[in-house]
């Protein structure tokens, strides 16, 4: 079906709002506006990485043109591809789309070519040394992320994470949070939002009412937060109040059970949590968006349709990534028709969506009357605003200010080469270990030859005796890439890393260690390398590698210096 034959769209436009009045849309079209579907940022279907979750081109066109969904969340591809894709789908849409991405570490985290910043927790390390600089970096980080998002057609930045990560075993939040300290999370949250507000994009505080003190992966199962109301108000809820005070546009729910708020339903599906607490008590009148409804914490128990109906009943305005978008729309429509959901509940959500779209798509919503807004082309891709030298320098400055370097690693020699042992969870599809990555090339220049170890291919190397039997050991630099790992956790990787470190240390062959990613892993592994040169950086990407390795392993022609930063 083409756009000219789509039925039950309004014949007129509310010129004061520059969008059709919600009640002028059919019920199905109103509900459709509440749905955000997932798609790949790649332009070609054969490059889709997650076909079970991401719509192909024909299906996405159906969702946008015929169902009239309200938004799309993108993952993967290059910044240039995403720019073309956002233009295409905005052109297909009768009502401008919210186009979102989880870009907590900058646009380059998801889309190659753009700037990939350190994880937010790096700013806490900066604050340990210079709180004023940390706030300035957070604001600049927010502004740069918003600018690069807007340049490629993204108008909804699903950031910042405002959870207080006070559980080191948290596999979901981890370094995505600004800190494990309440005041620091609140301050950095507000700074990031201030920066993002320099651009007409939406922000999102997540994951309400607080996912930091959990050790269960909500992608797989439902975590339980057992704390009482006093603790929730004193800790978990405080950064959300700070975000609301700063003018955050949306709040994303957490898939977790909090008996003190609702003994029966998880937060995403709880009226007491979303309407009673967030709307009424905390006074938030922006968009409430669910976390992805395909996640196991919700889908395993409630299925795609009942979960969506319960979320709307609870007060959610946006249903993010339902497993079956078309069936979800039908289920919510049926819930209204049978009297389970008040039609005013749907209209209220669409009105909030309209306010958000007025802010996030100003170039798509002219002041003129009539149907001109339906045919206005989207703004052009502005690749000149992506990965500019000043933005990349900002990322480098944050990396440098947050990394730890202790001592210097002695180079090996051509006559007695060493090993560069790189330990990762799964090397297949690993973005940060391409051929030119410094973690591979820099040690090679110093006669440390690559030995790549991952938990998928080396699960049998769990004992020192097995490593000694399998490998010829040499003086070694060990590089460990580890951070919070949804779906799998990091316990197996840490066990493997521990075995390698113990084996090399006992043989007096451990020359240096670099840990990329998790400060919690750093503390867990530190006893095995405390007395040897070592470094830590929050990032895993090539930029982080290229900054920390020269500090630990200087150019062979350079005069060695005793460079050390403290935690």
Please list the active-site residues: 219, 291
How many residues belong to the chain? 567
DSSP 3-state assignment of 38? strand
Nearest to 335 by CA among 316, 315, 312: 312
Phi, psi of 477 (to 5 degrees): -95, 130
Tell me how far CA of residue 456 lies from CA of 171, 421, 425, 507, in angstroms.
19, 16, 7, 26
- Do you find a cis peptide bond into 209, omega within 30 degrees of 0? yes
Q: Say how far apart CA 71 and CA 324 lie, in whole Å.
A: 15
Judged on CB neighbours under 10 Å (0-12, 13-18, 19+), 182 is middle
- Name the token pair of 411: 């180079």
Residues 6+ apart with CB under 8 A from 482: 423, 425, 490, 493, 494, 497, 515, 516, 517, 518, 521
Residues 404, 566: Cα–Cα separation, whole Å? 6
Q: Return d(Cα 295, Cα 322) in angstroms, integer.
A: 9
CA-based nearest residue to 162, from 199, 202, 130, 193 = 193
Q: Which two tokens stand for residue 115?
A: 């700037």
Its sign, for the CA torsion 523, 528, 532, 533, is: negative
Contact 408, 560 (CB under 8 A): yes
> Which residues fall within 8 angstroms of residue 7, CB to CB, at 6 or more apart?
none
Q: Distance (Å, rounded) from C-alpha 248 to C-alpha 241?
A: 10
- H/E segment holding residue 421: strand 418-424
Q: What number of other Cβ atoms are within 10 A of residue 213's Cβ?
A: 22
Cα distance between residue 179 and residue 318, in whole Å: 28
The 8-class DSSP code of residue 37 comes to E
- CA-nearest of 156, 197, 103 to 317 is 156
What torsion, rounded to 10 degrees, do the Cα atoms 337, 339, 343, 344 define?
A: 180
């Amino acid at each position: 079906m083409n756009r000219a034959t789509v039925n039950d769209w309004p014949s007129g436009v509310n010129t004061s709002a520059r969008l059709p009045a919600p009640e002028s849309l059919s019920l199905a079209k109103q509900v459709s506006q509440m749905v955000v579907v997932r798609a790949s940022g790649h332009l070609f279907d054969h490059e889709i990485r997650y076909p079970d979750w991401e719509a192909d081109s024909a299906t996405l066109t159906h969702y946008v043109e015929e169902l009239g969904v309200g938004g799309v969340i993108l993952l993967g591809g290059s910044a240039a591809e995403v720019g073309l894709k956002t233009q295409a789908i905005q052109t297909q849409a009768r009502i401008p789309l919210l186009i979102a991405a989880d870009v907590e570490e900058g646009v380059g985290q998801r889309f190659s070519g753009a700037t990939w910043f350190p994880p937010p927790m790096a700013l806490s390390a900066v604050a340990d040394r210079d709180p004023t600089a940390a706030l300035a970096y957070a604001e600049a980080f927010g502004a740069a992320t918003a600018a690069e998002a807007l340049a490629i057609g993204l108008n909804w930045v699903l950031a910042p994470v405002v959870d207080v990560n006070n559980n080191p075993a948290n596999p979901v939040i981890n370094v995505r949070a600004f800190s494990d300290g309440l005041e620091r999370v609140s301050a950095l949250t507000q700074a990031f939002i201030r920066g993002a507000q320099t651009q007409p994009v939406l922000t999102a505080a997540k994951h309400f009412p607080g996912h930091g003190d959990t050790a269960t992966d909500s992608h797989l199962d439902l975590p339980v937060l057992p704390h009482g109301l006093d603790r929730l108000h004193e800790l978990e809820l405080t950064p959300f109040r700070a975000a609301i005070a700063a003018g955050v546009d949306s709040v994303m729910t957490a898939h977790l059970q909090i008996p003190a708020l609702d003994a029966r339903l998880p937060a995403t599906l709880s009226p007491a949590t979303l309407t009673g607490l967030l709307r009424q008590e905390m006074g938030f009148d922006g968009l409430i968006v669910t976390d992805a409804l395909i996640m196991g914490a919700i889908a395993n128990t409630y299925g795609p349709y009942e979960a969506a109906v319960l979320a709307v009943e609870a007060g959610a305005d946006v249903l993010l990534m339902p497993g079956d978008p078309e069936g979800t729309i039908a289920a919510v429509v049926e819930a209204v028709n049978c009297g389970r959901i008040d039609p005013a509940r749907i209209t209220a959500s669409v009105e909030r969506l309209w306010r958000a779209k007025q802010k996030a798509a100003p170039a798509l919503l002219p002041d003129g009357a009539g149907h001109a807004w339906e045919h206005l082309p989207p703004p052009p891709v502005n690749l000149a605003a992506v990965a500019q030298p000043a933005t990349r320098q900002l990322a480098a400055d944050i990396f440098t200010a947050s990394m730890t370097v202790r001592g210097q690693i002695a180079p090996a020699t051509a006559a007695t080469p060493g090993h560069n042992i790189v330990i990762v969870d799964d090397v297949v599809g690993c973005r940060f270990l391409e051929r030119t990555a410094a973690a591979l090339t820099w040690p090679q220049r110093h006669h440390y030859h690559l030995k790549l170890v991952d938990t998928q291919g080396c699960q049998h190397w769990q004992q020192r005796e097995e490593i000694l039997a399998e490998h010829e050991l040499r003086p070694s630099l060990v590089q460990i890439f580890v951070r919070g790992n949804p779906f799998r956790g990091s316990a197996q990787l840490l066990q493997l890393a521990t075995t390698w470190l113990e084996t090399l240390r006992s043989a007096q062959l451990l020359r240096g260690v670099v840990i990329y990613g998790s400060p919690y892993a750093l503390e867990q592994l530190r006893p095995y390398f405390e007395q040897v040169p070592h470094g830590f950086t929050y990032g895993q990407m090539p930029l982080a590698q290229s900054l920390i390795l020269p500090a630990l392993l200087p150019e062979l022609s350079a005069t060695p210096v005793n460079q050390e930063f403290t935690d």
